């Protein structure tokens, strides 16, 4: 018999059997969730300043809808859109990226209807954007000047419209879609803060990425920024800190293995500000493909997004990079070169959440392979040798901070503090 003390402070006796039963009950109550077979269901913290947990890849929803087919964007009706969204969710995905204007507003509408029908709204982290004229296709509105730009009126009109289309009382992440050069940093940051003061936000997280402003009616809000100069983001976050406003926590912009301008100022700024990174155009507008895939498209007439890539066939440089990706894919045992291209971005720097688009479930499944690929430094060096990148001045003069510059090293031997490293998939 084992002695224990109860609430009455009198000695009590507990049998080993009852003790074992109690321990087993507690173990069952707090039993850890088994590691999911789908790596998309292995969630990560968004950024150093935003503790929400998201899937490592985002589903880009620019193709969801049927209003932009005439512009070369393809077409996804409600049925095919639901099928893609279901596949993403069933694999563990909870992070969806859309915008107020995508597919002339149909993207937000379909996502809202899908989440409502499935009853899963609160399980999702939905990012949307304001700034672009979302009333472009609405002929009933003759004057559209109030529906674009970073200004406060555009902000509020867009947020209210997005809430209705998404059928929700809150937006998880709201981006400033692009910098309009007309609105001041002060107006933008003050306008976002007013949304909080009006009671449309319960939980405010400091999120530093491309002006992503998460505005939620009576719920969470994260701010982010997209397609804007690094100095604008730094200035905005400093203003927020100085005046008790909410800073940005995530930055969204174009980045892929062939287009690395992102690495010049954006990534160093993100490190300094504690922002996550949400790269789009990760597959170079579909230009990352094998020779076999290109020939198949030539035979079938499938040309992809003609709006962003009117010249759908690859040039010599793009073919060279695709061949290099194919070589690396064979070395790491990957089936798809697109997966290698995505893995490259995720293993360059921490807090990277690539936006993957496409209209087919097969494309989604191919891209998910990126989460199981582990690249070596030699792989990265080889890929980057195909298209040399010049960071330009002042990096060419003072370095990038990863090691002591010549201007420092002549005074002594300095050991640099290692930078944070990205998550690299384990071998299973």
Residue 10 reports pLDDT greater than 70: no
Q: Is residue 141 part of a domain?
A: yes
Q: Is residue 422 part of a domain?
A: no
From the list 370, 264, 377, 258, the residue with the least C-alpha distance to 324 is: 258
Q: Is 76 helix (H, G, I), strand (E, B) or coil?
A: strand
Asked if 227 and 202 touch (Cβ cutoff 8 Å), the reply is: no
Distance CA 217, CA 379 (A): 46
Would you give the distance in Å from CA 244 to the centre of its chain? 26
69, HSE (Cβ side, Cα atoms, 13 Å): 8
Helices (H), 12-68: 16-29
Q: Which residues pair with 65 in a beta bridge?
A: 76
- Confidence at residue 200, expressed as pLDDT on a 0 to 100 scale: 52
Residue 204 reports pLDDT greater than 50: no
Q: Is residue 24 part of a domain?
A: no
Q: Is residue 5 part of a domain?
A: no
Asked if 191 and 211 touch (Cβ cutoff 8 Å), the reply is: no
Residue 401 reports pLDDT greater than 80: yes
> 122-126, 243-247, 304-308, 423-427 — which is least confidently predicted?
304-308
Q: What is the mean pLDDT of the chain?
A: 88
- Confidence at residue 3, expressed as pLDDT on a 0 to 100 scale: 40
Q: Which residues pair with 252 in a beta bridge?
A: 226, 278
- Confidence at residue 199, expressed as pLDDT on a 0 to 100 scale: 52
From the list 419, 332, 320, the residue with the least C-alpha distance to 378 is: 332
Residue 208 reports pLDDT greater than 60: no
- CATH number of the CATH domain containing 304: 3.20.20.100
* Residues contacting 415, CB < 8 A, separation 6+: none
Residue 215 reports pLDDT greater than 70: no
Q: Is 286 helix (H, G, I), strand (E, B) or coil?
A: helix
Residue 251 reports pLDDT greater than 70: yes
Question: What's the domain count of the chain?
Answer: 1
Q: Is residue 134 part of a domain?
A: yes
- Confidence at residue 122, expressed as pLDDT on a 0 to 100 scale: 96
- Confidence at residue 298, expressed as pLDDT on a 0 to 100 scale: 85
Higher pLDDT, residue 203 or 367: 367
3-state helix, strand, coil in the chain (%, to 5): 40, 15, 40
Locate the DSSP E strands across 33-149. 44-47, 50-54, 58-60, 95-97, 125-130
**Residues 330-339, mean pLDDT to the nearest whole number:** 98
What long-range pairs does 154-161 form, CB within 8 A, spacing at least 24? 154/130, 155/130, 155/188, 155/191, 155/192, 155/195, 155/213, 156/191, 156/195, 158/100, 158/130, 158/131, 158/134, 159/130, 159/195, 159/215, 161/100, 161/105, 161/134
Where residue 93 falls among pLDDT bands split at 50, 70, 90?
very high
**Residues 377-400, mean pLDDT to the nearest whole number:** 95
Where residue 196 falls among pLDDT bands split at 50, 70, 90?
low
What six digits make up the tokens of 405? Answer: 């510059």
Q: Is residue 390 part of a domain?
A: no
The per-residue pLDDT for range 359-377, each reduced to its tens digit, is 999 999 999 999 999 999 9
- Confidence at residue 136, expressed as pLDDT on a 0 to 100 scale: 96
Share of the chain above pLDDT 70, in %: 87
Residue 205 reports pLDDT greater than 60: no
Distance CA 287, CA 404 (A): 37
Q: Looking at 43, 89, 102, 134, which residue is catalytic?
A: 102
* Residues contacting 361, CB < 8 A, separation 6+: 83, 84, 87
Secondary element (H or E) of residue 299: helix 291-300
The per-residue pLDDT for range 12-23, each reduced to its tens digit, is 444 556 767 777
- Confidence at residue 227, expressed as pLDDT on a 0 to 100 scale: 85
Asked if 315 and 347 touch (Cβ cutoff 8 Å), the reply is: no
Residue 160 reports pLDDT greater than 60: yes
Catalytic: 344? no
Share of the chain above pLDDT 90, in %: 70
* Tokens 């290698």, located at residue: 340
Question: Can you give the residue range of the structural domain that contains 264?
Answer: 44-379
For the chain, state the CA radius of gyration.
Answer: 24
DSSP one-letter string for 346-410? HTTSSSB--EE--S-HHHHHHHHGGGG----HHHHHHHHHHS-----TTHHHH--SSS--HHHHT
What six digits make up the tokens of 1? Answer: 């018999």
The residue length of the chain stands at 428
Q: Is residue 147 part of a domain?
A: yes
Ramachandran area for residue 199 (φ above 0: left; ψ -120 to 50: alpha; else beta): left
Distance CA 176, CA 361 (A): 29
Residue 308 reports pLDDT greater than 50: yes
Q: Is residue 347 part of a domain?
A: yes
Where residue 42 falls among pLDDT bands split at 50, 70, 90?
very high
* Tokens 């979302």, located at residue: 134
């Amino acid at each position: 018999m084992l002695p224990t003390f109860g609430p009455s402070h009198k000695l009590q006796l507990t049998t080993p059997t009852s003790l074992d039963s109690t321990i087993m009950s507690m173990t069952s109550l707090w039993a850890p969730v088994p590691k999911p077979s789908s790596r998309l269901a292995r969630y990560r913290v968004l950024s150093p300043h935003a503790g929400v947990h998201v899937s490592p890849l985002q589903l880009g929803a620019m193709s969801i809808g049927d209003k932009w087919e005439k512009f070369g964007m393809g077409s996804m009706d409600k049925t095919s859109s639901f099928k893609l969204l279901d596949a993403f969710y069933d694999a563990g995905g909870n992070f969806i990226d859309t915008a107020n204007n995508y597919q002339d507003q149909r993207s937000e509408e379909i996502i809202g209807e899908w989440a409502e029908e499935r009853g899963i709204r609160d399980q999702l982290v939905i990012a949307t954007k304001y700034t672009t004229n979302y009333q472009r296709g609405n002929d009933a509105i003759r004057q559209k000047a109030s529906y674009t730009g970073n200004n406060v009126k555009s902000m509020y009109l867009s947020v209210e419209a997005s809430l209705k289309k998404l059928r929700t009382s809150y937006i998880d992440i709201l981006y400033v879609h692009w910098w309009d050069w007309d609105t001041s940093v002060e107006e933008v940051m003050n306008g976002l803060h007013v949304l909080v003061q009006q009671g449309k936000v319960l939980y405010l997280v400091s999120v530093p990425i491309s002006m992503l402003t998460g505005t939620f009616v009576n719920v969470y809000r994260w701010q982010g920024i997209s397609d804007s100069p690094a100095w604008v983001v730094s200035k905005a976050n400093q203003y927020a800190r100085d005046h008790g406003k909410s800073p940005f926590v995530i930055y969204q912009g174009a980045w892929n293995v062939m287009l690395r301008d992102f690495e010049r100022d954006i990534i160093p700024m993100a490190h300094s500000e504690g922002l996550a990174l949400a790269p789009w155009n990760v597959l170079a507008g579909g230009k990352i493909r094998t020779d076999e895939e290109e020939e198949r498209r030539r035979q079938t007439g499938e040309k992809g997004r003609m709006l962003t890539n009117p010249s759908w066939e690859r040039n010599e440089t793009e073919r060279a990079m695709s061949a290099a990706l194919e070589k690396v894919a064979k070395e790491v045992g990957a089936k798809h070169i697109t997966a290698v291209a995505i893995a490259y971005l995720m293993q360059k720097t921490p807090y990277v959440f690539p936006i993957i688009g496409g209209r087919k479930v097969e494309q989604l499944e191919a891209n998910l392979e990126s989460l199981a690929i582990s690249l070596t430094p030699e792989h990265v060096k080889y890929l980057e040798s195909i298209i040399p990148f010049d960071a330009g001045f002042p990096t060419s003069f003072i370095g990038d901070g990863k090691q002591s510059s010549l201007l420092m090293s002549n005074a002594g031997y300095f050991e640099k503090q290692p930078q944070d490293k990205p998550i690299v998939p384990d071998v299973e």
